[in-house]
């Protein structure tokens, strides 16, 4: 190498160091990613700098699986290239001057190349060159025009070693890939070529590009981190204002609902309450906050709120008090309330407090009461109408025959004894009806003792069998494997009442049956975790006709029979319920009608 | 002798009507429900029919309807313990609608009038 060459070499080196110096100074003055990228690419292509024809920048995605085209600088055609370089040579700016000039800052012209690269995505493939250079950090010099097989450690000539998409986009066989890696973190790649003046890329070029890539990568990465941080901070700020909004929103809801809400801390001190609780407590909201719920201050019926609250806080379990009268400081409130106590924690460090939710349900309760009264009155109306009708038939017969007796007596001076018998039997019928009505109306206190229900059933079954024989009806008893007579089935109840209850159902089944029908009586003993039960099913073949008829059958004076008060099943239902039992009826065309009675037992 | 069919489910009342009408000089047949009532209407060919409304198997309104489909002219008195049935259009197919009473004077008058008109 001649002395002149040596001098030129040193001059080139100096120039390039100088450019690096200028670039790094400019880059460090900003945190705008686009500006940084533009500075780097401009530095690489600036005639006074490296002077490459084109430069491309790709950034790696978060998953590190793809390179996304981000920015390109360079002419998109030969004509454009010469024009641009002509302009630059005319201006006497140095690189740094240019970068800091208004011209650079206001450079808004979007180049075709820049547009195209933004659409480009290159999938990284392990083992191929772009992926590998991001692993080992060493730039790759590519010359696809050199022909297959002329690869050396310095040049890549085989197109299949480059990830798909890039070479087609560049449309020029010689280029250099420079990985951008900040410490160990992959940032992206820089690609340069000389498509228009065809200058060969030298080893020195690559060495300097490599140096440039060091600070380019770290400034890009810093900016990315900074932008991420900025975004998170902005999102956080947004979230904060959202939280503020939510807090206000919640407060408005708490204020507007027609329920008193009082929040207490673990020390029974009021920390929050809504305006609705002012009316209830007789104090303003502000004077309520900070006050303590003391022992003996507020009673829910007979219960001290203080103790109920301690229980809720201790057991961390909500508790409800329904239709409660509240006594506040000895002053009884005539209204009725539903009260719910819920354990509540502000934060994990603070011991459990509680929320008291109080709803005034006076209006609802009064409405319920007037509804029940209306229902009672309408039932009474129905009852009177039916009673009147039931009494009318015997009365007509009595009156009619009395008239006949009188007429006959006037005509012949004789009294017709048969007619008198009819009058007497109709009076007996009337008496029976009136007695049943009185029985139903009487709210007699029933004494319950331990009785053998098996014995009650036996008595009823033999009475029913006698009645069934008269009508030529078969009674079929099914007790499963248990024989009722051989064991004691003990329950708490009234022997006479239960006997009446069973007889009513048995007779009902017999009366509803046609001659030669069968009436089935099935008796079962059952046991579950709640206790022991006796289940009696009574089936007859006749179908009640409709769902509604089945539903109505327990109503007073509802009857499908010719004779009878219509009170039998109503009385049975009442007796069964007095014994904490249940009676149901199901009716369909195929199996007829089945009554099911379930009674709780003491033992069997 | 004119023949009257009494359809009534309540036995004492049925007998009361029967005896009273026999006293008036009519031939009387009785039925305890609508089904038997219809059979007797076909078999006995009565001159007048009295029908109670509330009855088992086939009620009085169903029976009235069934008879009227075959015989538009035969006088029919329908009666009930309920006054409210006057509002029921089905009862209009009958010549008279009466509310049951222990005083049978009006009932007997109506029977006579209807038979005279015939």
**CB < 8 Å & 24+ apart, contacts of A495-501:** A495/A449, A495/A451, A495/A456, A497/A446, A497/A575, A497/A578, A498/A451, A498/A453, A498/A456, A498/A575, A498/A579, A499/A456, A499/A459, A499/A460, A500/A571, A500/A572, A500/A575, A501/A571, A501/A572, A501/A575, A501/A576, A501/A597
Answer yes or no: is A580 within a domain: yes
Does one domain contain both A345 and A371? no
- The answer to whether B34 and B59 are in contact (CB under 8 A) is yes
Triad A591, A592, A598: Cα angle to 5°? 90
Answer yes or no: is A240 within a domain: no
A247 touches chain B (CB under 8 A): no
For B:95-114, CB contacts with A below 8 A are: 100-104
Does one domain contain both A174 and A25? yes
Does one domain contain both A411 and A521? no
Does one domain contain both A427 and A459? no
Spell A315-330 as b/e; 16+ CB within 10 A means b.
Answer: eeeebebeebebbeee
Does one domain contain both A285 and A166? no
Give the range of the structural domain holding residue A268, as residue numbers without chain letter: 257-360
Number of structural domains (chain A) is 4
Two tokens, residue A146: 């050199």
DSSP letter assigned to residue A318: -
Answer yes or no: is A252 within a domain: no
Does one domain contain both A486 and A561? yes
Does one domain contain both A462 and A436? no
Share of chain A above pLDDT 70, in %: 88
A428 touches chain B (CB under 8 A): no
Does one domain contain both A264 and A374? no
Q: What is the pLDDT of residue A488?
A: 83
Does one domain contain both A472 and A553? yes
pLDDT band at A108 (very low <50, low <70, confident <90, very high): very low
Domain boundary among A191, A214, A229: A229
CATH of the domain at A375: 1.10.287.130
Phi, psi dihedrals of residue A183, rounded to the nearest 5°: 50, -110
Contacts of B12 in chain A (CB under 8 A): 394, 397, 401, 422, 425-426
Answer yes or no: is A182 within a domain: yes
Question: pTM for the full model?
Answer: 0.41
Could you report the per-residue pLDDT of A477-530, keeping only the tens digit for each?
Answer: 887 655 666 678 889 888 888 888 898 899 888 888 888 888 999 988 888 888
Mean pLDDT over A596-600 rounds to 92
Answer yes or no: is A188 within a domain: yes
A406 touches chain B (CB under 8 A): no
Answer yes or no: is A238 within a domain: no
Architecture per CATH, B3-117 = 3-Layer(aba) Sandwich (3.40)
CB contact under 8 A, B81 and A562: no
Does one domain contain both A329 and A390? no
Residues A382, A539: Cα–Cα separation, whole Å? 29
Answer yes or no: is A87 within a domain: yes
Here the ipTM equals 0.83
Contacts of A393 in chain B (CB under 8 A): 10, 13, 81, 100
Mean pLDDT over A200-208 rounds to 84
Contacts of A392 in chain B (CB under 8 A): 81, 100
Answer yes or no: is A245 within a domain: no
Phi, psi dihedrals of residue A60, rounded to the nearest 5°: -80, 145
Q: Which among B9, B13, B35 is the top mutation candidate for probing chain A, defined by the most A β-carbons within 10 Å of its own β-carbon?
A: B13
B44 min Cα distance to partner chain A (Å): 26
DSSP-derived 3-state class of residue A378: helix
Could you report the per-residue pLDDT of B74-106, keeping only the tens digit for each?
Answer: 999 988 876 666 666 667 778 888 888 888 899
Does one domain contain both A182 and A42? yes
Does one domain contain both A473 and A589? yes
3-state secondary structure A203-236: HHHHHHHHHHHHHHHHHHHHHHHHHHHHHHHHHH
DSSP-derived 3-state class of residue A267: coil
């Amino acid at each position: 190498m001649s002395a002149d060459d040596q001098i030129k070499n040193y001059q080139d080196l100096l120039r390039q160091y100088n450019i690096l110096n200028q670039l790094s100074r400019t880059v460090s003055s900003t945190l705008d990613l686009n500006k940084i990228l533009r500075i780097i690419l401009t530095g690489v292509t600036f005639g006074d700098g490296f002077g490459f024809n084109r430069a491309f920048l790709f950034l790696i995605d978060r998953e590190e699986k793809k390179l996304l085209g981000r920015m390109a600088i360079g002419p998109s055609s030969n004509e454009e290239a010469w024009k641009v370089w002509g302009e630059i040579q005319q201006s006497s700016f140095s690189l740094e001057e240019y970068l800091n000039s208004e011209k650079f800052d206001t450079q808004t012209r979007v180049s075709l190349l820049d547009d195209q690269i933004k659409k480009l995505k290159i999938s990284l493939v392990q083992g191929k060159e772009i992926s590998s250079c991001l692993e080992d950090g060493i730039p790759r010099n590519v010359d696809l025009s050199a022909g297959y097989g002329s690869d050396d450690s310095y040049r890549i000539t085989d197109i299949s070693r480059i990830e798909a998409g890039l070479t087609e986009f560049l449309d020029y066989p010689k280029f250099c890939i420079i990985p951008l890696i900040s410490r160990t973190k992959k940032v992206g790649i820089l690609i340069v070529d000389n498509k228009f003046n065809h200058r060969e890329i030298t080893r020195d070029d690559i060495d300097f590009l490599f140096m440039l890539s060091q600070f380019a990568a770290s400034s890009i990465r810093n900016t990315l981190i900074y932008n991420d941080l900025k975004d998170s901070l902005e999102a956080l700020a947004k979230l904060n204002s959202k939280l503020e909004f939510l807090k206000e929103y919640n407060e408005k809801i708490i204020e507007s609902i027609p329920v008193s809400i009082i929040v207490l801390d673990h020390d029974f001190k009021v920390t929050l309450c809504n305006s609705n609780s002012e009316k209830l407590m007789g104090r303003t909201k502000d004077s309520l906050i900070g006050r303590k719920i003391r022992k003996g201050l507020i009673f829910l019926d007979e219960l001290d709120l203080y103790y109920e609250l301690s229980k809720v806080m201790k057991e961390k379990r909500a508790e409800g008090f329904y239709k409660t009268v509240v006594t506040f400081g000895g002053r009884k409130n005539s209204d009725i309330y539903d009260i719910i106590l819920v354990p509540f924690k502000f934060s994990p460090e603070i011991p459990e407090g509680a929320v008291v939710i109080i709803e005034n349900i006076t209006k609802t309760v009064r409405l319920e009461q007037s509804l029940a009264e209306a229902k009672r009155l309408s039932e009474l109306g129905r009852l009177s109408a039916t009673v009147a009708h039931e009494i009318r038939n015997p009365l007509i017969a009595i009156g009619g025959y009395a008239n006949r007796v009188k007429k006959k007596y006037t005509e012949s001076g004789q009294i017709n004894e048969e007619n008198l018998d009819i009058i007497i039997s109709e009076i007996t019928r009337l008496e029976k009806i009136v007695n049943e009505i009185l029985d139903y109306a009487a709210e007699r206190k029933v004494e319950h003792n331990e009785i053998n229900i098996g014995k009650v059933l036996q008595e009823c079954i033999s009475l029913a069998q006698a009645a069934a024989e008269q009508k030529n009806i078969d009674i079929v008893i099914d007790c499963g494997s248990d024989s009722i007579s051989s064991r004691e089935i003990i329950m708490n109840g009234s022997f006479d009442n239960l006997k009446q209850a069973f007889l009513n159902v048995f007779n009902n089944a017999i009366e509803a049956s046609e001659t030669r029908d069968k009436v089935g009586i099935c008796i079962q003993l059952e046991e579950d975790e709640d206790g022991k039960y006796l289940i009696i099913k009574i089936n007859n073949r006749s179908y009640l006709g409709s769902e509604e008829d089945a539903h109505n059958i327990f109503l007073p004076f509802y009857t499908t029979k010719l004779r009878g008060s219509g009170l039998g099943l109503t009385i049975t239902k009442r007796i069964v319920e007095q014994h904490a039992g249940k009676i149901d009826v199901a009716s369909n065309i195929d199996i007829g009608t089945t009554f099911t009675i379930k009674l709780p037992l003491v033992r069997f | 002798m004119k023949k009257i069919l009494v359809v009534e489910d309540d036995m004492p009342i049925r007998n009361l009507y029967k005896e009273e009408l026999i006293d008036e000089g009519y031939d009387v047949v009785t039925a305890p429900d609508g089904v038997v009532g219809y059979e007797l209407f076909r078999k006995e060919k009565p001159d007048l029919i009295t029908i109670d409304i509330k009855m088992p198997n086939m009620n009085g309104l169903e029976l009235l309807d069934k008879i009227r489909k075959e015989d538009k002219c035969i006088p029919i008195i329908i009666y009930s313990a309920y006054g409210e049935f006057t509002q029921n259009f089905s009862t209009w197919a009958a010549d008279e609608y009466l509310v049951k009473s222990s005083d049978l004077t009006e009932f007997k008058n109506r029977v006579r009038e209807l038979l005279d008109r015939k």
